[in-house]
Copies of this chain bind each other. A is one copy, B any other.
Amino acid sequence: MSGTWIERFKGLRLLPDDVREDLIQGSKVVSLPARTQVFAPGQSADSLLLLLEGTVRVQQKSDTGREVFLYRVHAGESCVLTTACMLAFEEYSADGIAETDVTAVAIPRKTFDDLAAKSSVFREFIFTAYSRRITDLFTLIDDIVFQRMDVRLASRLLELAGKQDIVHATHAMLGSELGTAREVISRTLAEFHRRGWVEQSRGEVHLTGRDGLERLVRSAGGAY
């Protein structure tokens, strides 16, 4: 009973065998191509998704037509907030878009409720996922309110680059990630360039001075 997708989720490894069986039987693995709308406001979700591969971008459309980036779901995480909706029979206000090709486990409402009743390990898994997401939202709010844009941009660039030294994103995309205007990104990147921290070309940013960016982030007590 090892080698199933369950092993990929730390919180589920401790599930007793019979519950595992239920979970595997009662759910199915699905694939979605990049740029699919995974869920949308006004469309009541009927499954909880656990991501196996790819990333999903969750954002909120404002009344004014603009969008705020809320968070990104990575492989090994779950779209908990879909659950919120699923269980609360409430309409969702955020929408999710597959950023890459995605494979995920879809747990339908019925299976979910059965497992929540049956297994305390499963309950804990769900609540931990919630908790983490909510904490992230708190951090996001904090950032938006108190953190300077240059610090937030530096931090996000480092995050998006990962181990590489390049970020593939237009200024407009970066602006939407941080909930700010493209112009602000352009100006801030120009400043970073002046300081020798980045080189730019169309649609990409090369990090040529990570340490500068890192120092900036640290100096502000940032999260990364």
| Chain A residues in the interface with B (C-beta under 8 A) | 60, 62-64, 66, 68, 70, 81, 83-85, 87-90, 93-94, 113, 116-118, 120, 123-124, 127-128, 130-135, 137-142, 144-146, 179, 221
Number of copies: 2
Closest to A180 in B: B145
CA distance A81 to B87 in the complex (A): 17
Cβ-neighbour of A62 out of B63, B120, B146 (below 8 A): B146
Chain B residues positioned under 8 Å from A88 (CB to CB) = 124, 127-128, 130-132
Can you give 5 contacting A-B residue pairs, CB < 8 Å?
A60-B141, A68-B141, A90-B135, A130-B130, A141-B141
Closest to A85 in B: B131
Given the interface contacts A123-B87, A130-B130, A144-B144, does A137 sit within 8 Å of B137 by beta carbon? Answer: yes
Q: Is B84 within 8 A of A138, CB to CB? A: no
Chain B residues positioned under 8 Å from A116 (CB to CB) = 116, 123
- A-side interface mostly: helix
Q: Is A123 within 8 A of B117, CB to CB? A: yes
Given the interface contacts A144-B144, A145-B179, A146-B62, does A131 sit within 8 Å of B68 by beta carbon? Answer: no
Top 6 closest pairs, chain A to chain B, by CB: A88-B131, A87-B127, A84-B131, A88-B128, A63-B221, A145-B179
